[in-house]
């Protein structure tokens, strides 16, 4: 449907927002109706037909729970209106907006919005009216980032919805899961796609290089500063800055980074002149959010600053048949690269791949297939051709050994404490800091039998 033929209803309790939207949309659409009181939604829907509704997520409540928005969204659905609904949300409520998308909203816009972005969102929503927003026909969203598993479809869905916004993104996941590919996919689908995409592995920067690499320096600022140098923030101006391994930087470095993000300006080393910056920030780490929440390791105010939306990338072992999909993709890639005839996987090779836990994730699978293609004697890749990384296998073995040692330590501690308390489970559980039920579960787990 074309924008000029659309009837649009806007519901927001802020009269300034209603006025701004009316002035913006009136020259572009057939009809725009604004309403301050959401209680009037049922009456409006029964008396008029709307093609699209812009609905605020928070009204009278002082707490931005989004519950009012969801309530009135449900009323729109109860009215059996065929209008597409775009949710209006505050900058910090992106998670609520994602929930709204899952419940059937067509899209969302973030206050304060760019007028061009709002118009584009409305156009796209009207254009795709009637289509299922959760439907993803492709097996991926780029030639490299592919997957058909439910876990990856969820990731692709979030990417497609969040990319056009300027929200800061935190990508979580184990090494080798493709966090950098996700960052690139977000940038390529953003309004900044034609601007620079600058990646920095901040975890590998030395103490002396951190500031000059990110913020730049003036000639003579330090011993090797032979000329003025632009930092990565300035280099990414107008585009996207991707800070990889953000969880590995020190607290004093975090403070400097936070200052730049809050003030939206950098000052080169050796200079007193701040330079304004306009970047979209994407960060990634293999450190869990629980570990980041430890304030002895990472500043909470910085977490909130970089984590408007988080994307958790699943490890390959939890992606099911994506292993075979990716293996065939790499098989085709490396067959072409090494001028081999078209190759395929035999059934036992597929079984071997699916049974392996891939501690190195997609990266390990890629290297495994590349090595197998090089060494294979024929067009059929056999199970014996698949040799997994000894480095990753050793890591897996060490993890298993560590788990066994911890289990033995726990078992021996329980035995000693029970012996110390002459078999009194109540006293033993109290000393161990466990409930009786929790201690009984551990006794069962380790097959420890006591006559009590």
Q: Three-state secondary structure along the chain?
A: CCHHHCEEEEECCCHHHHHHHHHHHCCCCCEEEEECCHHHHHHHHHHCCCCEEEEECCCCCCCCCCHHHHHHHHHHHHCCCCCEEEEEEECCCHHHHHHHHHCCCCEEEEECCCHHHHHHHHHHHHHCCCCCCCCCCCCECCCCCECCCHHHHHHHHHHHHHCCCCCCEEEECCCCCCHHHHHHHHHHCCCCCCCCEEEEEHHHCCHHHHHHHHHEECCCCCCCCCCCEECHHHHCCCCEEEEECHHHCCHHHHHHHHHHHHHCEEECECCCCEEECCCEEEEEECCCHHHHCCCCCCCHHHHHHHCCEEEECCCHHHCCCHHHHHHHHHHHHHHHHCCCCCCEECHHHHHHHHHCCCCCHHHHHHHHHHHHHHHCCCCEECHHHCCCCHHHHHHHHHHHHHHHHHHHHHHHHHHHHHHHCCCCHHHHHHHHCCCHHHHHHHHHHCCCCCCC
pLDDT at 136: 39
Average pLDDT over residues 298-321: 92
Average pLDDT value over all residues in the chain: 85
The pLDDT tens digits of the residues spanning 362-396 come to 999 999 999 999 999 899 999 999 998 776 555 55
The answer, yes or no, to whether residue 262 has pLDDT greater than 80, is yes
pLDDT at 401: 52
Domain 399-445 in the same topology as domain 3-127: no
CB atoms within 10 A of CB 239: 19
Q: Token pair of 268, please?
A: 């080169």
pLDDT at 160: 87
Rounded CA-CA distance 412/213 in Å is 51
The answer, yes or no, to whether residue 157 has pLDDT greater than 60, is yes
Highest mean pLDDT out of 139-143, 206-210, 255-259: 255-259
The fold for domain 399-445 equals Arc Repressor Mutant, subunit A (1.10.10)
pLDDT at 127: 78
Average pLDDT over residues 165-182: 94
pLDDT at 218: 87
Average pLDDT over residues 162-172: 93
Average pLDDT over residues 51-56: 92
pLDDT band at 131 (very low <50, low <70, confident <90, very high): very low
Determine which of 145-149, 295-299, 407-411 has the lowest per-residue pLDDT on average: 407-411
Contact predicate 32/10, CB 8 Å: yes
pLDDT band at 100 (very low <50, low <70, confident <90, very high): confident
Determine which of 35-39, 101-105, 375-379 has the lowest per-residue pLDDT on average: 101-105
In this structure, are strands 197-201 and 7-11 parallel, antiparallel, or unpaired?
Answer: unpaired
Contact predicate 109/279, CB 8 Å: no
The pLDDT tens digits of the residues spanning 437-446 come to 777 777 777 7
Domain spanning 316-388: which CATH class is it, in words? mainly alpha
pLDDT band at 255 (very low <50, low <70, confident <90, very high): very high
The answer, yes or no, to whether residue 244 has pLDDT greater than 90, is yes
Determine which of 50-64, 229-243, 255-269 has the lowest per-residue pLDDT on average: 50-64
Backbone angles phi, psi at 283, to 5 degrees: -120, 155
pLDDT band at 55 (very low <50, low <70, confident <90, very high): very high
The fold for domain 150-312 equals Rossmann fold (3.40.50)
Rounded CA-CA distance 396/435 in Å is 33
Q: What percent of the chain has pLDDT over 70?
A: 88
pLDDT at 276: 95
The pLDDT tens digits of the residues spanning 15-29 come to 988 999 999 999 999
pLDDT band at 129 (very low <50, low <70, confident <90, very high): low
Write down the domain spans for the chain: 3-127, 150-312, 316-388, 399-445
Rounded CA-CA distance 299/91 in Å is 21
* Angle separating helix axes 251-263 and 207-215, nearest 10 degrees: 10
* CATH 3.40.50.2300 corresponds to the domain 3-127: yes
Between 37 and 412, where is the model more confident? 37
Residues 6 or more apart in contact with residue 186 via CB below 8 angstroms: 159, 162, 163, 169, 240, 282
pLDDT at 63: 45
pLDDT band at 135 (very low <50, low <70, confident <90, very high): very low
Residues 6 or more apart in contact with residue 66 via CB below 8 angstroms: 57, 58, 89, 93, 96, 99, 100
pLDDT band at 452 (very low <50, low <70, confident <90, very high): very low
Q: Which long-range contacts (CB under 8 A, 24 or more apart) does 250-258 make?
A: 250/207, 251/297, 251/298, 251/299, 253/202, 253/210, 254/298, 254/299, 254/302, 255/299, 256/210, 256/211, 256/215, 257/214, 257/302, 258/299, 258/301, 258/302, 258/305
The answer, yes or no, to whether residue 137 has pLDDT greater than 80, is no
Average pLDDT over residues 339-349: 92
Between 63 and 223, where is the model more confident? 223
The answer, yes or no, to whether residue 432 has pLDDT greater than 70, is yes
Q: Token pair of 299, please?
A: 């500043």
Residues 6 or more apart in contact with residue 173 via CB below 8 angstroms: 179, 284, 286, 312, 313, 314, 315
pLDDT at 91: 52
Angle subtended at Cα 445 by Cα 442 and Cα 450, rounded to the nearest 5 degrees: 65
Determine which of 83-92, 136-145, 182-191, 353-362 has the lowest per-residue pLDDT on average: 136-145
């Amino acid at each position: 449907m074309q924008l000029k033929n659309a009837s649009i209803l806007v519901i927001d309790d802020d009269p300034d927002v209603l006025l701004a939207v009316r002035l913006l949309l009136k020259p572009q659409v057939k009809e725009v109706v604004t309403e301050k009181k959401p209680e009037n939604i049922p009456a409006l829907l029964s008396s008029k037909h709307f093609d699209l509704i812009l609905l605020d997520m928070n009204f009278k409540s002082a707490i931005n729970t989004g519950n009012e928005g969801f309530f009135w969204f449900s009323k729109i659905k109860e009215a059996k209106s065929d209008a597409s609904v775009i949710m209006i949300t505050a900058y910090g409520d992106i998670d609520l907006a994602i929930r709204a998308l899952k419940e059937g909203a067509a899209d969302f816009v973030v206050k304060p919005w760019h007028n061009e972005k709002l118009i584009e969102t409305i156009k796209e929503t009207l254009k795709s009216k009637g289509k299922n927003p959760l439907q993803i026909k492709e097996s991926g969203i780029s030639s490299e980032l592919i997957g058909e598993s439910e876990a990856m479809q969820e990731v692709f869905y979030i990417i497609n919805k969040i990319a056009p916004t300027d929200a800061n993104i935190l990508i979580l996941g184990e090494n080798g899961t493709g966090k950098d590919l996700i960052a690139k996919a977000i940038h390529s689908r953003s309004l900044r796609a034609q601007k620079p995409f600058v990646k920095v592995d901040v975890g590998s920067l030395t103490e002396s290089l951190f500031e000059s690499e990110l913020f730049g320096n003036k000639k003579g600022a330090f011993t090797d500063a032979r000329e003025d140098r632009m930092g990565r923030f300035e280099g990414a101006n107008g585009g996207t800055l991707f800070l990889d391994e953000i969880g590995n930087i020190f607290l004093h470095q975090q403070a400097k980074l936070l200052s730049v993000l809050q003030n939206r300006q950098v000052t080169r080393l050796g200079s007193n002149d701040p330079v304004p910056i306009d970047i979209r920030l994407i960060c990634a780490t293999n450190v869990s959010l629980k570990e980041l929440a430890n304030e002895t390791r990472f500043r909470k105010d910085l977490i909130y600053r970089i984590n408007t939306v988080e994307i958790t990338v699943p490890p390959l072992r939890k992606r099911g048949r994506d292993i075979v999909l990716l293996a065939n993709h790499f098989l085709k890639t490396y067959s072409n690269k090494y001028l081999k005839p078209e190759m395929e996987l035999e059934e036992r090779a597929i079984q071997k791949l699916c049974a392996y836990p891939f501690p190195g994730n997609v990266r390990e699978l890629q290297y495994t297939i590349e090595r197998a293609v090089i060494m294979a004697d024929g067009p059929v890749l056999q199970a014996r051709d698949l040799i997994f990384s000894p480095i990753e296998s050793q890591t897996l073995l060490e993890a298993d050994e560590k788990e066994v040692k911890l289990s033995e330590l726990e078992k021996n501690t329980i035995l000693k404490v029970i012996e110390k308390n002459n078999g009194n489970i109540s006293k033993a559980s109290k000393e161990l800091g466990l409930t009786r039920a929790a201690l009984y579960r551990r006794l069962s787990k380790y097959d420890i039998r006591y006559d009590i």
